[in-house]
Amino acid sequence: MSAAKEVLIKSIESLRGVPDLELALRVYGHQSNVTNTYQDCQDTKLEVAFGPANIDAIKTKIKGLQAKGATPIARSLEAAAADFPDTLARNFIILITDGLESCDNDPCLVARKLRDKGVKVTPFVIGLGMDLSYLDKFECIGSYTDAESKAAFENVLSNILSKALLNTTVQINLNTVDGKPLETNVSMFLYEAGTSNLKYTYMHTLNRKNLPDTLVLDPSIKYDLRVATLPSIAKNNIAIVPHTHNTIQVPAGQGQLTITSVKSPEGSRIESRIIQIPGTSTLHVQQLGEIQKYLVGTYQLEILTIPRIYKEVKIEQSKLTSIDIPAAGQFIYQVPKGIVAQLFYERNPGQWEWVLDLPYNQNKGTIKLQPGVYKVIYREKDQRSSTYTKEKKFNITSLKVTNLSL
């Protein structure tokens, strides 16, 4: 209660000097104590009536409030609608509660009656530390937001006041390939257009109705938007129309990619370099078993096995593309003397691709290799003629050991 009062006083003070704004304060559950046998369902009172210069009066009243009684939300809502002196104005109710309706009235019924009578009131409901399973109880009244901490309450109240005062709202639709705003859960950066001046940072969210969340942006400037998909999306020079609801459409269809090696021993570490086509730069390095979202399109995979595997994949809307890598086999070699040697892989018939140089001064070694046909070209390091060159061809099979004496 003390934290709520502190935040409310601070927020009301921030409204001082706003033109064409009048405030009122109605309080409920503060006059009569609840007992085991009684609760006063008439305990709702307009403590400070609407007026152009009553911020100090409202702050004083809030400071002296004590929570005592019932929660007659329906009666307070109905009474608050009648508190407005002008039905032609833009009228807003901000209902702050830490509980549900405790009397015998139905807030949803009252809200419906007000709408039927043509009472133009837009309610916002802020629930303080409430059980979120009760959210649907408030959706019939108006826009509901929960605040589970002091900081959250301050942010929520500030956001609602901005919506009420500016009446300029924005939703950013991250659209699938068929134009539905269903993509979400990526960071968005809004810069002042043409600059590096970051104005807002949001994690894109779908609200409880599965629609893009409503944001409040300053309409006096234009924006450059960066969306942290893979690859990222840029939309520049966005103008916000004041005093209306703006929708920013962003094509952002995505699918998922996973790279596995089902038959490999547990703990195998294989990384894959992801490149968007067309392009040559590394977009992402994906770990084995990781599921990662990418924008719909075609990508080149460079899988960092020995030797490397190259694959082209097509990412499709809302689909999981899975690539499985064959398990490696083991190549064990030994030599009586030091050798100069290189290992080659037959990727295509008759075409030998360099894989690696064998260590110069080692008499034995073990290397994990992908299945296929290989050969070693070598000579003893002390022999000073190319005519001493030798080669040995061998096969590698998944999960099997191939021994070679050179």
Check whether residue 155 and residue 274 sit in a common domain: no
Check whether residue 17 and residue 155 sit in a common domain: yes
CA dist 54 and 24 (Å) reads 8
Check whether residue 380 and residue 369 sit in a common domain: yes
Check whether residue 11 and residue 150 sit in a common domain: yes
Domain boundary residue, one of 166, 200, 217: 166
End-to-end Cα distance, the chain? 82
pLDDT per residue as tens, the chain (406 positions): 888 888 889 888 888 888 888 999 999 988 888 877 778 888 899 999 998 889 999 999 999 988 887 888 888 888 888 888 877 777 888 888 877 767 866 777 777 777 776 666 666 777 776 665 555 666 677 777 777 788 888 888 888 887 777 667 899 999 999 999 999 999 999 999 999 999 999 999 998 889 999 898 888 899 999 999 999 999 999 999 877 789 999 999 999 999 999 999 988 899 999 999 999 999 999 999 999 999 999 999 999 999 999 999 999 999 999 999 999 999 999 998 889 999 999 999 999 999 999 998 788 999 999 999 999 999 998 888 999 999 999 999 999 999 999 9
Check whether residue 149 and residue 103 sit in a common domain: yes
Q: To 5 degrees, how large is the angle CA 401–CA 403–CA 406?
A: 155
Q: Which residues lie closer than 8 Å to 350 by C-beta, 6 or more apart? A: none
Check whether residue 63 and residue 96 sit in a common domain: yes
Check whether residue 244 and residue 264 sit in a common domain: no
Check whether residue 141 and residue 41 sit in a common domain: yes
Check whether residue 263 and residue 153 sit in a common domain: no
Check whether residue 378 and residue 299 sit in a common domain: no
Check whether residue 73 and residue 220 sit in a common domain: no
CA dist 190 and 212 (Å) reads 16
CATH classification of the domain holding 237 = 2.60.40
Check whether residue 160 and residue 235 sit in a common domain: no
Domain boundary residue, one of 227, 251, 275: 251
Structural domain including 275 reads 257-324
CA dist 142 and 214 (Å) reads 14
**Tally of domains in the chain:** 4
CA dist 299 and 18 (Å) reads 53
Domain boundary residue, one of 215, 231, 251: 251
pTM for the full model? 0.69
CATH classification of the domain holding 365 = 2.60.40.1120
CATH classification of the domain holding 63 = 3.40.50.410
Q: Tell how strand 284-287 and strand 245-251 pair up.
A: unpaired
